[in-house]
Amino acid sequence: MDDFIIKYISAYIELTPEEEDIIRNQNLIKPFLKDTVLLAEGEHARECYFVLKGCVRRYHIINGEERTTDFYTENQSIIPVSYTTKKPSEYFLSCVEDTVIALGSNERNEELIKQIPKLETMLVQMASEMQAQNQVEMDNFKNLSPEERYRNLTDTRPDLLNRVPLNYIATYLGITPESLSRIRKRISRNR
Amino acid sequence: MDDFIIKYISAYIELTPEEEDIIRNQNLIKPFLKDTVLLAEGEHARECYFVLKGCVRRYHIINGEERTTDFYTENQSIIPVSYTTKKPSEYFLSCVEDTVIALGSNERNEELIKQIPKLETMLVQMASEMQAQNQVEMDNFKNLSPEERYRNLTDTRPDLLNRVPLNYIATYLGITPESLSRIRKRISRNR
DNA sequence: AATAACAATTAGCTTAAGTTAATTTCTAAT
DNA sequence: ATTAGAAATTAACTTAAGCTAATTGTTATT
């Protein structure tokens, strides 16, 4: 399981065998059961996450209703806004399935960087890439209609539709479950 | 003018007078006239930007129509997706007003980091903060109605409404200029 | 001052999403 | 296998956005 992380990091920087060991020793890997809440609204996030297996859902509660804002699956990192800003979280993180996660914390990350300084170079790259990807996602969301967003999702993340209930997908697409039903019907009618 | 940048950086890390000089010498500051296109769709972005004065608009052309995706004003950095991914840009960057910009490039940034390694620490922080802010913006956009988004904009960036034409604002809010007109009317009717 | 170019608003019509509520389908637990 | 609860769909109605086109307002230029 650890080797997923080594592999992931190695795509950014080269690691010596000793460095690989340091990472293997440092890293905390934990399994969580379905529906475990990793972070609740109002809490301070002291950890960030790397999904090794399973699926985590990010959602807000607005007027008592859950609004899904993201899904994280294998090989995605989750850096809660609260982790960065050190303010209370505006949203929840919860496991949609049984999920295995590598945990990071500020203290342990700093410790690691002291031992392997080039990790910082990787962090800059990772953060930049996430930033770029966020922007692309935002642009797509803004420039596409609900129906186009649904089609886009079935193209880019077809797995999600099989592992996540449609009502979560609906709010993730910024629409109601009823609207999603209509869209799906519309699409199947016109093949 | 340079001192804006020094000030900005000093919020993240401490600089010695020598380091300040290095930055002052390295940095390229350039004025651009209104309507100058800094980056066009299809081009490879080789530079990133820091707005010292003025306003830059980011927009896509979709079915021949301009769709504004962002505005950047004083003290905001612009890291084009194309700069990060090294792929052709999907969007344009153009000056809404006469604008003064500090330019960065990969080569010059790397050179600078060699001379002032702690700059990398700042980069991690900056990228993380941008990432967090992007996420918040995305969440707001997704969870608010067009009218709420407009109200939100007048609250958080009232300056924009005075310096940017409403048709740009409309597509930035993800709606047509006609819809924005109706929303403004609706709001003014109810006080 | 007149005009041209563009920006903003208004109106009428169409389309699709939101809302509420009922119904059907699916899933999990006893 | 039955049942309870949740998820998904369907329907009827309301609301607001998109679209097309016309009109009014604003700005810049000669």
Q: Which nucleotide is nearest to B182 (CA to C1')?
A: C9
* C-beta of residue B49 within 8 angstroms of C-beta of residue B77: yes
**Tens-place pLDDT, residues B57-73:** 999 999 889 999 999 99
* C-beta of residue A139 within 8 angstroms of C-beta of residue B91: yes
Domain architecture of chain A: domains with CATH: 2-115 (2.60.120.10)
Q: Is the pLDDT of residue A1 over 70?
A: no
Chain C: bases < 7 Å from a protein Cβ? 7-12, 16-21
Q: Is the pLDDT of residue A88 over 70?
A: yes
Q: What six digits make up the tokens of A46?
A: 């002291």
Of B121, B136, B138, the CB nearest to A137: B138
**Tens-place pLDDT, residues A159-188:** 999 999 999 999 999 999 999 999 999 998
With beta carbons under 8 A apart, name residues in chain B contacting A142.
Answer: 67, 69, 141, 174
Q: What percent of chain B has pLDDT over 90?
A: 90
CB contact under 8 A, B131 and A129: no
Q: What is the pLDDT of residue B26?
A: 78
User: Measured between alpha carbons, how far is B76 from B74 in angstroms, rounded to an integer?
Assistant: 6
**Tens-place pLDDT, residues B125-166:** 999 999 999 999 999 999 999 999 999 999 999 999 999 999
Count of Cβ atoms closer than 10 Å to residue B91 Cβ: 24
CB contact under 8 A, A134 and B138: yes
* C-beta of residue A148 within 8 angstroms of C-beta of residue A159: no
Q: What percent of chain A has pLDDT over 70?
A: 97
CB contact under 8 A, A81 and B136: yes
CB contact under 8 A, A67 and B130: no
Tell me what the pLDDT averaged over chain B comes to: 93
Q: What is the pLDDT of residue A190?
A: 67
Q: What is the pLDDT of residue A16?
A: 95
Stretch (H or E) spanning B138: helix B119-143
Q: What is the pLDDT of residue B3?
A: 82
Chain D: bases < 7 Å from a protein Cβ? 7-12, 16-21
User: Measured between alpha carbons, how far is A69 from B140 in angstroms, rounded to an integer?
Assistant: 10
**Tens-place pLDDT, residues B100-112:** 999 999 999 999 9
Of B69, B120, B132, the CB nearest to A85: B132
Q: What is the pLDDT of residue A27?
A: 66
Count of Cβ atoms closer than 10 Å to residue A145 Cβ: 9
**Tens-place pLDDT, residues B65-99:** 999 999 999 999 999 999 999 999 999 999 999 99
Tell me what the pLDDT averaged over chain A comes to: 93
The residue to which tokens 């407009």 are assigned: B150
Report which DSSP code applies to A69.
E
* Phi-psi domain of B165 (left: phi exceeds 0; alpha: psi -120 through 50; beta: other): beta
How many beta-carbon pairs below 8 A join chains A and B? 85
The residue to which tokens 């896509």 are assigned: B60
**Tens-place pLDDT, residues A106-121:** 999 999 999 999 999 9
**Tens-place pLDDT, residues A142-160:** 999 999 999 999 999 999 9
Q: What is the pLDDT of residue A191?
A: 56
Indicate the pTM of the whole model.
Answer: 0.92
Confidence band for B190, pLDDT divided at 50, 70 and 90: low
Confidence band for B44, pLDDT divided at 50, 70 and 90: very high
B151 touches strand C (CB under 7 A): no
What is the pLDDT averaged over residues B2-12?
Answer: 88
User: Measured between alpha carbons, how far is A118 from A191 in angstroms, rounded to an integer?
Assistant: 51
